Structure 1
């Protein structure tokens, strides 16, 4: 018997022949003759026939794919006639044809980071940030709807960086992209591409972009990108594995492996000054996501704290005036604190009675009053205004200015 083939290179026919010879079911010559003649005694595990006399050799498939396709063929074919229809287009495989089982294992770990369901965030649910939303639509939505125009010099943007104070809506914009855009969305963080095994981190980055090109059009969202690709060199205590990871990410974004497939990289960070200059160059649009303006703050308060009647409107002007420097997350905390005031009064009454009240007999929570809003403003402080000047300086140095 010939030398055994490498474990990662076995085809289905090699495995079948080795199994039969090893356990003495058949002779190797009989198996070879069956393979050469395209017969397997009624078993179509090695050869696929569609009932029209055309025989397709599938020896190039891996064993795992062979077993999967064999089960699909059993359910799809009956007496040589397909039950699913002849005009149905073949579905795209979940994984491309990788050369080794190791690469396939890495790809299976990254498949879990694909957003399957919709985050249910619409463009209209994000108040303000019109410039950022317009650029995201130009980069992701328009090239898919009108590919004729986005060719040559007008090829779509390959990368956009969203930077700004925490809580201003950068991740919300990414959720809107995953909801509204018809692309495969990869939600990638540092834990997705960093491995404890030597050499696996850069392999994960390479496999990630291969998967993105395979499922194109696709969007790769790198949340908190400063944790993955901070500045290199300059006397920093940088590990060799970290430097290899950064280099591979730069190569995949803009190197010889760059293809015509629509793979869009969306990155978000709260520390843009920590990013490497080479990564800033590859992220072609760098958009500041600022603290909400008065119009956006008013829209947030009207949505989160709606007035019950027109006669008893909440003091929205007071809220807008006293929340200068608040982020969107801080505004939500103000609304939550205001809504907690009537609940606290009700809980105090229930605790004084010391009686167990059935759930269906519990009293309703009272409406939110003006005094509750004033108390919420006193109890809540902004959390994202301390480094506002640094974001403005970075925006003036590296940001993409929007021309209205």
Structure 2
């Protein structure tokens, strides 16, 4: 009988590698799956702490940052809100007061209407409430639009640049909705400045034979919204309507009343013309013999826009003389140093011969007559 028939006599096979290990290794407990702690290193611990503190500060900073306010267009179509935000909403026009030469009286009135109520809100209450509207009257090119942008830049208000094409629509009733939505957005983004350029195209005389029914409804809604700007419920929200026109006689009397301040933006005087010349010639090399006061005397009757055009024309005279009679291939080889020469008196004389003034004396007298009757400075 074979001994292998008894299963109890069959020994269990052991690994030879285990037999060869010493007893201390055999008795050692099995290693855990967790990683051992890092070695003691003060530098690495301080770096980790700094990273944790930095991440905590970033999270705290993100929490402190206010999320941008989003206008809720409840009751209005989404495409109307998109139209206004895309076309007329400007956060920062970036026009400083120092870039507007002269016009000290107009600047003082605009500061009193827009800037000071924001700086002194406790004072401008009750009978001292801010002016609800300012109308700027004057020839084209005298700086009316530039003044409105400077106001929005200096006081940090939201600037709404409105034109007739933005607020008019071919669909019935949509123009009135746009007007109401405009003022709702202005109240939401307050302090705000609504600038309506060429307001005579929107607020002409009512009751004429050529007036359409839709135009009359539009004007009625605009009148209602302008009257409700500084109501008791929105007294803390500064909203100012600034308008500009070249034809003040065409404005309806109801709109004229709502513009409590009516300011004349005149042609620049001697000091303003000289200051404007220096502003326009910034960044351009000027001949040392050039006297801006002499040129300012020759620019009497020119608007601010006309003076800018004269300066631009004079600054290009050296280039015109250099490229005269040359082919395009020869012009490409000319270096900037060869054409970027100092502006001389001769350049301004040639520019004055090419650029004439755009406003007549009859236009100036017409604005002065309107201001004598309806002005409110």
Normalised TM-score (structure 1): 0.72
> Residue 256 of structure 2: which of 280, 283, 292 is its match?
280
> What aligned pairs does 1:242-281 form with structure 2 within 5 A after superposition?
242-255=215-228, 258=231, 259-260=234-235, 261-281=237-257
Distance apart, 1:365 and its partner CA: 2.9
In the alignment, does 2:266 pair up with 1:293? no
Q: Where does structure 1 lack aligned partners over 5 or more consecutive residues? A: 1-82
> Residue 375 of structure 1: which of 345, 350, 360 is its match?
350
Q: Within 1, Cα distance between the matches of 2:336 and 2:264? A: 50
Q: Within 2, Cα distance between the matches of 1:263 and 1:247? A: 19
Q: Where does structure 2 lack aligned partners over 5 or more consecutive residues? A: 1-58
> What aligned pairs does 1:1-400 form with structure 2 within 5 A after superposition?
88=64, 91=67, 93-96=69-72, 98-99=74-75, 102-233=76-207, 235-255=208-228, 258=231, 259-260=234-235, 261-305=237-281, 312-348=288-324, 350-351=326-327, 355=330, 357-358=332-333, 363-385=338-360, 386-400=362-376
Distance apart, 1:188 and its partner CA: 1.0
Partner of 1:65: none
1:167-203 CA distance string (max 9 Å, x none): 0000111111222112111111111110110000011
1:139-165 CA distance string (max 9 Å, x none): 111111110101111001111011100
1:286-329 CA distance string (max 9 Å, x none): 0000000010001112332469578x321423322221111001
Determine if contact 2:73/2:81 at 8 Å carries over to the other structure: no
- Compared CA separation, residues 202 and 360, structure 1 to 2 (3 A): same
> How many residues in Structure 1 have an aligned counterpart in Structure 2?
315
Determine if contact 1:346/1:365 at 8 Å carries over to the other structure: no
Partner of 1:58: none
Determine if contact 1:167/1:384 at 8 Å carries over to the other structure: no
| Greater Cα radius of gyration, structure 1 or 2 | 2
- Compared CA separation, residues 357 and 340, structure 1 to 2 (3 A): closer
Normalised TM-score (structure 2): 0.77
- Compared CA separation, residues 266 and 399, structure 1 to 2 (3 A): same
Q: Within 2, Cα distance between the matches of 1:332 and 1:356? A: 27
Determine if contact 1:342/1:365 at 8 Å carries over to the other structure: yes
- Compared CA separation, residues 220 and 363, structure 1 to 2 (3 A): same
Query: If each structure's helix is expressed as a fraction of its own residues, which one has the higher value?
Result: 2
